[in-house]
Each structure stands twice: as C-alpha cells, then as structure tokens.
Structure 1
C-alpha cells in the first residue's frame, strides 16, 4: 500500500507547505487534502485530520511525527533530517512548536484569515461554474 500524507486543504498555509513537499521532497506518499480522502478507509477520523497532518502507511503518525516520516521516506539527505526530527529531544520540542504554528497558521506565510477558523466555520468554496463567482 502506498503511504498517504494528509493535510488541511482548506488552509492556504497548509496547502503552501504541501506544495513545497510535492515539489522538493521526493516522498513515495500520496500528498492529499484530508477533505478529499476516504478517511474511514485510511483509519483516520475527521477530528484527527483536523488536529494535525497525518501519515498513514507502515504505521500511523501525526503532526511533526508525520513530517519526520515523510522526510525519512524521501531518502537522500532528507532521511537524516527526518531521523533528527523524530528523535528525542528534538521530537519533544517539535510538538509544542507544531501546535504553536497550527494555532497561528493564519499569520504564517501563505496563510489567510480562513486558516484561523475551525473547520465547521470556514466558508465553503463556490464551484468555478457558479454564476456568483464569474
């Protein structure tokens, strides 16, 4: 089974980070917004997906642990970076930093005010063929 890396596709900051990952980090994982994933088939709840990025493959990891898995999976010089991120004491420090960034992602480069809203309060994007958005 090909690993999957889930991120919040409604968040501009998260989408920017996922785009960087897809362009520069040669992971074998499918990088996918959780909103378009079959969460039940992946064994992930919506609450888990909303709370942090997710790695589903040989095992399951979230947040900086998921990022460490992506880096290790990418191989080359990314592998040692993933090993460092996943090892104590860096791992212990990574979680508070990850939570801080997640809480302030609307202020991060590429972030928008919608990133600060809980999922249930975010505006629903209109389809491109909607006459109101033309």
Structure 2
C-alpha cells in the first residue's frame, strides 16, 4: 500500500503509547500515529468519548476501524509477512473474538496495569 492511514490513540496513557510504538515499529511509513488529544476530532467525525474507549485507525477513504480491528488492519499494512499474518489472526475468526475480548479488557483496565502511567481515573 502506498498510502498512509492514521492511528489515533490516547496520548495520556503510557500503555497506549507503548502499544502504539510497537505498532509503528511493525508498520513503518504505512501508518502514522497521533495522540487524539492533539487532533481535530471533528474532522474525523469522532468524539473524545469514542477515543477514550478505544484506539481508531482512519483509512484514507475515511473508513474507521476501532479497537482490536484498528490494530489488525494496521498490521495488514506492515512490510513483514509475519506482521501481516498477525494482523489476519487478530481479525479472522476464531481468534478475532479472543482479540476483541482481550482488547476490551485491557482498554477498561489500562489505568490499573503496571507501569501504564495512565491519567484516566480508576473506575470503580
């Protein structure tokens, strides 16, 4: 792919920062990342609440991929065949439902995870 998608993540969360760096190491110039706090969300048709809940990959055509699908579709753009395979595993059944559950759990609990330095308040 010769074009670049935009990966929007929570720049106030250390865990999100580390996961995004890991993703960018694999995808190279095919994906650019921006902390959503520094982006005109209206231009993307997104709200802060949506991005507090999950990362979003915005494709060139405006298609938005959310949560585990954002990671999976970003990995499909990677130069490495192994990383593209990992993207397919994240997106295709039967492993996609596991990826979805794991992503949702991590997103809800990222403020509790060791070393995450997340500014989100602990949810009761």
TM-score, length of structure 1 as denominator length = 0.77
Q: Higher mean Cα deviation, 107-116 or 49-58? A: 107-116
Which residue does 1:80 correspond to in 2? 85
TM superposition shift of 1:53: 0.5
Match of 2:115 among 106, 110, 115: 110
Measured in 1, the distance between the counterparts of 2:70 and 2:13 equals 18
Measured in 2, the distance between the counterparts of 1:21 and 1:52 equals 15
TM superposition shift of 1:80: 1.0
Q: In the TM superposition, what whole-angstrom CA distance separates every residue of 1:38-73 from its partner, at most 9, and x where no partner exists?
A: 211122222211110000004211000000011001
Q: Conserved in 1, the CA contact under 8 Å of 2:27 and 2:77? A: no
Higher relative contact order (CA closer than 8 Å, sequence separation 6+) = 2
Which residue does 2:55 correspond to in 1? 53
Q: How does 1:15-94 map to 2 (within 5 A)?
A: 15-57=17-59, 58=61, 59-76=63-80, 77-94=82-99
Gaps of 5+ in 1: 119-134
Residue correspondences, number: 118
Tell me the C-alpha RMSD between the 2 structures: 2.0
TM-score, length of structure 2 as denominator length = 0.82
Q: Conserved in 1, the CA contact under 8 Å of 2:112 and 2:122? A: no
